[in-house]
Chains A and B, each alone.
Chain A
Amino acid sequence: EVVLTQSPGTLSLSPGQRATLSCRASQSVGNYLAWYQQRPGQAPSLLIYGASRRVTGIPDRFSGIGSGTDFTLTISRLEPEDFAMYFCQQYNNIPRTFGQGTKVEIK
């Protein structure tokens, strides 16, 4: 199965700062990579699919880039509601797999 490794595990930043999250796949997944945000006690919410396509209604401060094995989610200027857990997911292979997550916390 494709293992997705996210880094860092935790990102401590202040509102207004830029967040850069990484997701690395153990083998190529093409551009079949999605990013989700999950707040405590809630279901994940889809942000990005196809590595770089923003879901309708997601603010443009969220952007994704990458293909193959290396992917990045950038939040250009953190808003208070952006402090949450972020997961990547690949959907190129069965089983679908998720990364272990990056927690973006307030510094």
Chain B
Amino acid sequence: QVQLQESGPGLVKPSETLSLTCTVSGGSISNYYWSWIRQPPGKPLEWIGFVYYTGSTRYNPSLQSRVTISLDTSRNHFSLRLTSVTAADTAVYFCASRAYNGFDSPYDYWGQGALVTVSS
């Protein structure tokens, strides 16, 4: 059973870069799609993007200019970087994945979520 765990700073200053890591256990990252999704407090889920095990990526156009998702196969984890953050980026950030190949969605596995607050 694949398990995902987000880690990273819970507080980021405006205009700085948000960085989170999702550690994968119970399975190899060298397969499937690996995704990030966020949920602002009291609001719906927003898809950020995914990285395929080959390294190819797709992002939400609304975030594309600021986001990078990457893989580290040696550490069996994948990462999210979001630059130039504002208060609107305050959210619980989830990493997620699909149990089967071929599609990045829907998401069978989710991390517990990491609350990131953007504030000075």
Contacts and interface: CB of A to CB of B under 8 A. Distances in A.
Interface of A: 1, 32, 34, 36, 42-46, 49, 55, 87, 89, 91, 94-101
Contacts of B45: 44, 87, 89, 98
B60 A89 contact: no
A98 B103 CA distance: 16
A34 B105 contact: yes
Interface string B107-120: 11011110000000
A98 B106 contact: no
A46 B108 contact: yes
A34 B37 CA distance: 15
Interface in B47-68: 47, 58-62
A32 B59 CA distance: 19
Interface of B: 44-47, 58-62, 94, 96, 103-108, 110-113
A98 B105 contact: no
B interface: dominant SS: loop
A87 B94 CA distance: 15
A87 B44 contact: yes
A98 B46 CA distance: 7
Contacts of A95: 47, 59-62
Contacts of B104: 91, 96
A34 B4 CA distance: 20
Contacts of B107: 36, 44, 46
